Amino acid sequence: MATLRFQALKETLNRKPIPIEEKERRSELFGRNVFTESVMRQFLTKEAFQSVMEANATGKKIDRSIADHISTGMKEWAITKGVTHYTHWFQPLTGTTAEKHDAFFETIGDGLAIEKFGGGQLVQQEPDASSFPHGGIRNTFEARGYTAWDPTSPAFIYGTTLCIPSVFVSYTGDALDFKTPLLRALHAVDQAATDVAKYFDKNVNKVQATLGWEQEYFLIDSALAASRPDLQLAGRTLLGHSPAKGQQLDDHYFGSIPSRVLSYMRDLEKESMLLGIPVKTRHNEVAPNQFELAPIFEEANLAVDHNSLLMDIMHKVAERHNFVVLFHEKPFAGINGSGKHNNWSLSTDTGVNLLGPGSTPMKNLQFLTFFINTIKAVHDNEELLRATIASASNDFRLGANEAPPAIISTFIGSQLTEVLDELEKVTDGKLSPAEKTELKLNVVGKIPEILLDNTDRNRTSSFAFTGNKFEFRAVGSTANCAEPMTALNSIVAKQLRDFKKEVDSLIKGKKMKKDDAIFNVLREYIKDSKNIRFEGDGYSDEWEKEAAKRGLSNNRNTPEALKALIKKETVEMYKELGVMNDVEIKARYEIQLEEYIMRVQIESRILGDIARNHVIPTAIRYQNILIKNVRGLKDIFGDDFKMHSKEQLEITKEISVHIEKINSGITDMIEARKKANKLEEAEEKAFAYCNEVKPFFEVIRYHCDKLELLIDDEIWPLTKYRELLFTR
Ligand code: ADP
Ligand code: MG
């Protein structure tokens, strides 16, 4: 019976916002639980402090003897804050983050004990790695994995645990996590971008990639979520008819934040502040019960850590407020999905944003160099970028029925399009003084510091330039940003390396002036990369056709998309840059296929269960009510009963049709699953799940949703869309 649903509704309606006290200013809370530079000065010896700073700036290894001093300082600080345990905190290839807590507490014999945290424990740990995905990197007899401290991301305290951001590698040194390749990619882009930046300013010694993510999510009352097995187990609804009113009126987007939600957000922001996550923006999103949270951008590695940490904390804080956070890209059919825009740029140690237009022609030539190289990199590697955001859940947001096409393109706005069109006309070879003056004054010199049409952005572009950064919009809300960020920074690093080689060879070989050489190479890049630029409606069917003509990829599902991860060009690029080796690339490919298979398999089972054990029995129950009613009518009206029971009989028949379709659909789906499970190769199996199993979801759902409309609301067991989305 529908008792759980009604209990959940009652509970939800009785909830009150939890009061949040804010006695201190946010700026005072900020970073309080982080082992920041100023805390280090206080708790570390001078030598230890220097060593951490150096490791941070140059990647220099920290000496083991110094590690002992650092760990002691860290422990002292942590103990002043009531900490009892420590953990290496890392990001394995599935799930969000992992930790295993150990106490500082140690016995020293004679019934005595002390708090201890040695350098060895800080630098390296050996968690029980056997349960993390490794894609064949670890054999069973050598199942060891190590976590190692990443000193570029500061340690922090959560609850009573000291968390040490770490990488996770196998016994052979191969990466088993998201962070390791990211750090390598960031190093590669630093070197390549610094070399190119030196054309414009000799004082540049380091370039950092910056990332500002925007996290979208849904909040559903925990009682309501618990009343739906699909939300509970898959994080999305596998069935449910759309409500009479959805997001058409945009009233949620423009309305005020509901009070229970606001209380959650404030609590979450407080926690974020303590952990040094600089969250700044909060607002309602397009769909009912959908929201967004965005921080001030940070260095990319730190920003990635902060996003992973925040996603964890969002779940934890939600518990206190009786909410469940849904990060799934498409929790509700027919309603806006969730993404995680990745705003990305490059910034120098001299404080210049390399993707920000400047006030002089020289600064703008630098801007154009990085701008055009990025576009060229995206053009040459669009299929790889698409692959890095592929997942079973993001498939519903890209390339699916209600979703925009899975095409990567870049929008740059009319002003910059004009500039690139002008640059395309630059003479081949050395430039005349007149041409140079013209370029400097009227083309490059005219780029304004603030680009007007980028304030009114094209929201349909998957990789848009937004004034002083690129915004990778196709990233899914469940994603770990490290994956797209590893790819993006790698392809830009590779591109900038190639650019430098070409420019240098024109300078040396053809005796060109530096500016002439740069203009010449950029001109060719503009021509070569034109196909990736698209200013129109990226959601339209016309664009899909146009993109196909241009030869851009449009990989609609994960198994198709993932293939780009192991393409020859991808493997060569990652190897050349030292970001990933053959083994690591292959392992990731396997892990992602496996994850895809598991997700579809799990959803298929849940759907089968709900449809057979909840929907069909309810349908039969209602059918019996109708039949009883018809029998009663017959008793009363005799031969006239047909006239009076016409509609009841019609509904009874309809119900039978739906039951038949659902039940036979499930039988066939199980058959398809059995066949798929027999396949040995992960790739083949993933395609089987995608093409043979998944199509049943829609058929089964369609008929369940029709039943939802027919059956008495009193006995319908599954909390309805209207209730999930509008009850607070
Ligand atoms: P929106 O896209 O919602 O209109 P903004 O364009 O103001 O908002 O900023 C979106 C995000 O871009 C913010 O999280 C911000 O921190 C980030 N951002 C701004 N500048 C940069 C930059 N140079 N590098 C990376 N991210 C940036
Ligand atoms: Mg945005």
First to last CA, the chain: 23
Number of domains in the chain: 4
Structure-token pair, residue 82? 């009531």
Is 10 a domain residue? no
Average pLDDT over residues 356-369: 91
| CATH for 645 | 1.20.120.1560
Residue 1 has pLDDT above 70, yes or no: no
Gap between the Cα atoms of 450 and 437, Å rounded:
23
Same domain, 46 and 184: no
**Phi, psi at residue 87, to the nearest 5°?**
-150, 145
Gap between the Cα atoms of 7 and 417, Å rounded:
58
pLDDT of residue 445: 85
Structure confidence at residue 361 as a pLDDT band (50, 70, 90): confident
466 lines ligand 1 (CB under 6 A): yes
| CATH for 305 | 3.30.590.10
214 lines ligand 1 (CB under 6 A): yes
Average pLDDT over residues 579-591: 94
3-state secondary structure of 531: helix
Is 587 a domain residue? no
CA 341 / ligand 2 centre spacing (Å):
6
Same domain, 420 and 502: yes
Same domain, 370 and 475: yes
Which ligand 1 atom lies nearest to the CA of residue 211? 25
Residue 78 has pLDDT above 50, yes or no: yes
Domain membership of residue 22 as a residue range: 18-176
Average pLDDT over residues 449-477: 86
For residue range 165-213, list pLDDT tens digits in order: 999 998 888 999 999 999 999 999 999 999 999 999 999 999 999 999 9
Mutation to probe ligand 1, out of 343, 345, 460 (largest number of atoms < 8 A from CB)? 343
Which ligand 1 atom lies nearest to the CA of residue 292? 3
Q: Whose CA is nearest to atom 17 of ligand 1?
A: 212
C-beta of residue 219 within 8 angstroms of C-beta of residue 264: yes
**What b/e string do you get for 531-560 counting C-beta neighbours within 10 Å, with b at 16 or more?**
ebbbeeebeeeebbebbeeeebbbbbbbbb
Same domain, 254 and 120: no
Structure confidence at residue 135 as a pLDDT band (50, 70, 90): low
**Mean pLDDT value across the chain:** 93
CA 1 / ligand 1 centre spacing (Å):
49
Structure-token pair, residue 461? 């572009």
Between CA 502 and CA 512, with CA 507 as vertex, the angle to 5 degrees is 120
Structure confidence at residue 402 as a pLDDT band (50, 70, 90): confident
pLDDT of residue 129: 62
C-beta of residue 184 within 8 angstroms of C-beta of residue 578: yes
| CATH for 104 | 3.10.20.70
Q: Which residues pair with 339 in a beta bridge?
A: 476
For ligand 2, a single-atom ion, the residues with CB < 5 A are 341
Same domain, 284 and 431: no
Residue 130 has pLDDT above 80, yes or no: no
- The DSSP result for 43-60, as a single string, is HS-HHHHHHHHHHHHH-P
Average pLDDT over residues 678-688: 97
Gap between the Cα atoms of 398 and 394, Å rounded:
6
Q: How far is CA 488 from CA 189, 375, 387, 593, 655, in A?
A: 9, 11, 12, 21, 52
The closest of 552, 556, 554 to 531, measured between CA atoms, is 552
Mutation to probe ligand 1, out of 213, 292, 297, 301 (largest number of atoms < 8 A from CB)? 297
Residue 141 has pLDDT above 70, yes or no: no
pLDDT of residue 456: 62
pLDDT of residue 356: 95
Same domain, 171 and 219: no
pLDDT of residue 216: 97
Same domain, 434 and 563: yes
Structure confidence at residue 140 as a pLDDT band (50, 70, 90): very low
CA 213 / ligand 1 centre spacing (Å):
8
Is 154 a domain residue? yes
CA 580 / ligand 1 centre spacing (Å):
29
Gap between the Cα atoms of 463 and 518, Å rounded:
25
pLDDT of residue 221: 96
The closest of 446, 487, 466 to 353, measured between CA atoms, is 466
- The DSSP result for 77-88, as a single string, is HHHHTT--EEEE
694 lines ligand 1 (CB under 6 A): no
Is 590 a domain residue? no
For residue range 269-319, list pLDDT tens digits in order: 999 999 999 999 998 888 899 999 999 999 999 999 999 999 999 999 999
Structure confidence at residue 517 as a pLDDT band (50, 70, 90): very high
Is 11 a domain residue? no
Residue 139 has pLDDT above 60, yes or no: no
Is 131 a domain residue? yes
Domain boundary among 315, 338, 361: 338
Q: Which residue has the tokens 């040396």?
A: 508
Is 3 a domain residue? no
Same domain, 368 and 319: no
Structure confidence at residue 137 as a pLDDT band (50, 70, 90): low
pLDDT of residue 86: 95
Average pLDDT over residues 492-514: 96
Same domain, 470 and 573: yes
Same domain, 400 and 540: yes
Residue 325 has pLDDT above 50, yes or no: yes
Same domain, 187 and 225: no
Same domain, 253 and 187: no
Which ligand 1 atom lies nearest to the CA of residue 356? 23
Which alpha helices (DSSP H) does 578-694 contain, by range?
A: 582-610, 616-637, 641-644, 646-678, 682-688
In this structure, the number of other CB atoms found within 10 A of the CB of residue 633 comes to: 18
Domain boundary among 518, 551, 579: 579
Domain boundary among 525, 547, 579: 579
**Phi, psi at residue 563, to the nearest 5°?**
-55, -30
Is 6 a domain residue? no
